[in-house]
Structure 1
Amino acid sequence: MARAFWDQRFSGDEFLFGSEPNEYVVETCSDLEPTEALDLGCGEGRNAVWLAAQGHRVTAVDVSPVGLAKAAQLAAAREVAVDWVCVNLGEYEPAPQSFGLVVLSYIHVDPALRVPLHVKAARSLLAGGRLVVVGHHVRNVEEGIGGPQNPDILLTEEQMQADFEGLSIIRNETVEREVPGASVTALDLVFVATA
């Protein structure tokens, strides 16, 4: 079901969320030395391609072959290499302690999938590795704009702290994001931690 949904969303000629990286991914990853990086739920590849352009050796995972085909085109246009993996995130098993950076950008899934996915993400970090999670905050439903309208799949600071217990939290906060043409801002959560 997820594959068909995202294949349809990514089937347009344009990039659904644009071809430039998420501003918070750039903000939280620009200072890193090149490392093995994992982008979970990479969609059309905007963050993975940017990370590769920064010198990271990127593995990018998504359920949608349509999204990954567009991601590969973007990587080719920007002349970077990314290892694209087409699999459902619930089935993907990253090797433990193998990545210096793990990014999850706007991955909104049922808690029954979110918690094990977060455990796998944390487990895949090398010692000292960085985890970055960016997503819509639960408050966005009532106070913001855009994104899923199901509060059960949106993020809170408390969830992030519980899901990533054992990591050293650097940042766990709600941020306002400008949305072109909107009179209100979107409310996102930015979480950064190290192993």
Structure 2
Amino acid sequence: MIVDLNSRYGLNPAHSEVVEACKIIEPCDTLDMGCSNGRNAVYLGQLGFNVTAIDNNPGAIDMLQSVIIEEKMKNIKAHVYDINNANLGEDYGFIACTVTLMFTDPARVDTIISDMHKRTLAGGYNLIVCAMSTEEYPCPVRFPFTLKAGQLREAYDGWELIKYNENVGTMHNGAKLQFATILAQKPV
């Protein structure tokens, strides 16, 4: 039985798309890109994934480190890393990047995704959830980067799309916001 460590430490629940992806992805070496204070990393770690959690916020990484130490979670490594560098250096079976790309340098997004492709093992998975700005739903939040219609699907040409959508949701303040979500498997 999994204890709700997220709740115990005041973390938000794991992203719903991470939870769904774990129904088909077996525990493996995993990268949580833009992990913040670790809501997905802790969840994945409890399921037996070997997680590398990265974020450019030292305070968030310190908070995650304290959970790792307190819970003796030897399968989670957390460190400060600027995703804009796009030089991951290790290969993974699963790379999750949920609500993170919209905070990156727009000029680096293609390079970041290309590096994710390069660092995903054959048969491995990428999960991305990112805000969009379209004619029908212009993004009401001034993120540095937002996806255009079809842009994320095009970035994964040649991969098997397990899931892809560009759905509109309502934010906590009532604003309508469109997100692109992809779960793609790299060819073997």
TM-score tier, shorter chain, comes to: 0.7 to 0.9
* Contact 1:119–1:164 under 8 Å retained in 2: no
CA distance in 2, matches of 1:80, 1:144: 38
Q: 5 Å matches for 1:1-195?
A: 18-76=11-69, 79-81=72-74, 82-95=76-89, 98-107=91-100, 108=102, 109-139=104-134, 142=137, 148-150=141-143, 153-180=145-172, 182-183=173-174, 185-195=176-186
| Percent identity of paired positions between Structure 1 and Structure 2 | 21
Deviation at 1:20, TM superposition (A): 1.5
CA distance in 2, matches of 1:178, 1:79: 37
CA distance in 2, matches of 1:141, 1:116: 28
* Contact 1:144–1:184 under 8 Å retained in 2: no
Provide closer, same or farther for how the CA distance between residues 79 and 21 of structure 1 changes in structure 2, counting only shifts above 3 A.
farther
Q: Which amino acid aligns with 1:32?
A: I
* Contact 1:25–1:134 under 8 Å retained in 2: no
CA distance in 2, matches of 1:71, 1:22: 16
Residues 116-155 of structure 1: CA distance to partner in whole angstroms, max 9, x if unpaired?
Answer: 000011111111101000121224994676xx324x6112
> Secondary structure of the equivalent of 1:129?
strand
> Secondary structure of the equivalent of 1:134?
strand
> Secondary structure of the equivalent of 1:156?
coil
What is the number of equivalent residue pairs in this alignment?
Answer: 175
2:5 maps to: none
> Secondary structure of the equivalent of 1:85?
strand
Provide closer, same or farther for how the CA distance between residues 178 and 31 of structure 1 changes in structure 2, counting only shifts above 3 A.
farther
TM-score by length of 1: 0.76
* Contact 1:157–1:172 under 8 Å retained in 2: no
Provide closer, same or farther for how the CA distance between residues 48 and 119 of structure 1 changes in structure 2, counting only shifts above 3 A.
same
Q: Which amino acid aligns with 1:102?
A: I
> Secondary structure of the equivalent of 1:153?
coil
CA distance in 2, matches of 1:29, 1:139: 30
CA distance in 2, matches of 1:175, 1:114: 21
Q: Which runs of 5+ in 1 are unaligned?
A: 1-13
Q: Which amino acid aligns with 1:158?
A: G
CA-based RMSD of the aligned residues comes to 2.7
